[in-house]
Amino acid sequence: MKMIEVENLGKKYRKHTSLEPTFPTLRDRLLSWGRQAPVHDFWALQDINFSLEEGQVLGVIGHNGAGKSTLFKILSQVTRPTTGRAVLRGRVASMLEVGTGFHPELSGRENVYLNGTILGMSRSEIDSHFDEIVEFAGVADFLDDPVKYYSSGMYTRLAFSISAFLASEIMIIDEVLSVGDASFQKKSLEKVRQLVRDQGRTVMIVSHNLAGVAQLTDRCLWLDHGRLKKQGPTQKVLPLYKAQQERLTRTPKR
């Protein structure tokens, strides 16, 4: 069963170019007052097509600014596409960046219940997984503190634990695992493998850790300047991406 289908997806932003110099004088400000700033269209994504079957793990790779996070924000319904469509079948647990989905004034305990409710779970369902979430995240001593006081690592551990233990068919993970320590990253990757093996979870993950992508994913999307440069089995796409990165590293800057 296809859990994710993306067709002709595109996202366009409008950029306003300032008419003033970097350090404007009063004269510069007066001259630019009332003048219309030039507007430029910028396509963060364009003509993206792919699908993902139930129980597959998809890696999304590419340089910074390639459009990876924009794609994940569209799939998580944080932003709307300009063109095309994305269909997701099932409940989606998203980890887009540290703190996404948390209310900073609420405690860790309250945020667990808030996230579970957003996923459509009853209080009794959340109760049945609560101890596992806290133990995996290792935040028991801070559970009743507002999460605005949490470190980035604590945020990440709790966010991942909620996504892993509360019911969802699709997990979308955007590089946030790189914030945790090495032992938690390893534990999290093992948990993802278990969820895919035992529960048939469908997972999309962005990571610059290419070794982790090679170990965890079945397929890869390679994004380059907002376009889909290559997609296919990880063992075929990843070497091509690595080769390009090596060529860019060796090319002297002018």
Predicted confidence band of residue 235 (pLDDT cuts 50, 70, 90) = very high
pLDDT score of 254: 56
Residue at 89 is within a domain = yes
Residue at 32 is within a domain = no
pTM for this model (two decimals): 0.80
pLDDT digits (tens, 9 = 90+) for 61-89: 999 889 998 999 999 888 999 999 999 99
State yes or no: pLDDT of 22 exceeds 70. Answer: no
Give 161's contacts (C-beta < 8 A, 6+ positions apart). Answer: 132, 133, 134, 136, 137
Given a contact cutoff of 8 angstroms between Cβ atoms, the answer to whether 14 and 42 are in contact is: yes
**Higher-pLDDT residue of 186, 108:** 108
Average pLDDT over residues 98-107: 80
For the chain, the domain total comes to: 1
List the structure tokens of 210.
């290419």
Predicted confidence band of residue 176 (pLDDT cuts 50, 70, 90) = low
pLDDT score of 19: 57
Residue at 30 is within a domain = no
CA 174, CA 99: separation in Å to the nearest integer?
12
Residue at 231 is within a domain = yes
State yes or no: pLDDT of 23 exceeds 70. Answer: no
The mean predicted confidence, pLDDT, of the chain is 87
Predicted confidence band of residue 31 (pLDDT cuts 50, 70, 90) = low
pLDDT score of 91: 87
Residue at 29 is within a domain = no
SS3 labels along 11-39: EEEEEECCCCCCCCCHHHHHHHCCCCCCE
- Domain limits for position 234: 2-20+38-250
pLDDT score of 89: 94
Given a contact cutoff of 8 angstroms between Cβ atoms, the answer to whether 204 and 75 are in contact is: yes
Residue at 31 is within a domain = no
Buried b or exposed e, range 105-115, using 16+ CB within 10 angstroms: eebbbbbbbbb
Instruction: Give the closest residue to 112 by CA, choosing from 121, 168, 200.
Output: 121
Given a contact cutoff of 8 angstroms between Cβ atoms, the answer to whether 43 and 226 are in contact is: yes
pLDDT digits (tens, 9 = 90+) for 192-215: 889 999 999 999 998 888 888 898
Average pLDDT over residues 138-153: 92
Count the residues in the chain: 254
Burial of 151 per CB tally in 10 Å (0-12, 13-18, 19+) = exposed
pLDDT score of 159: 86
pLDDT score of 109: 96
pLDDT score of 209: 81
Residue tagged 């892993």 (tokens): 164
Query: What CATH number is associated with residue 61?
Result: 3.40.50.300
List the structure tokens of 67.
């459009």
Residue at 229 is within a domain = yes
Alpha carbon distance, N-terminus to C-terminus of the chain:
50
Residue at 173 is within a domain = yes
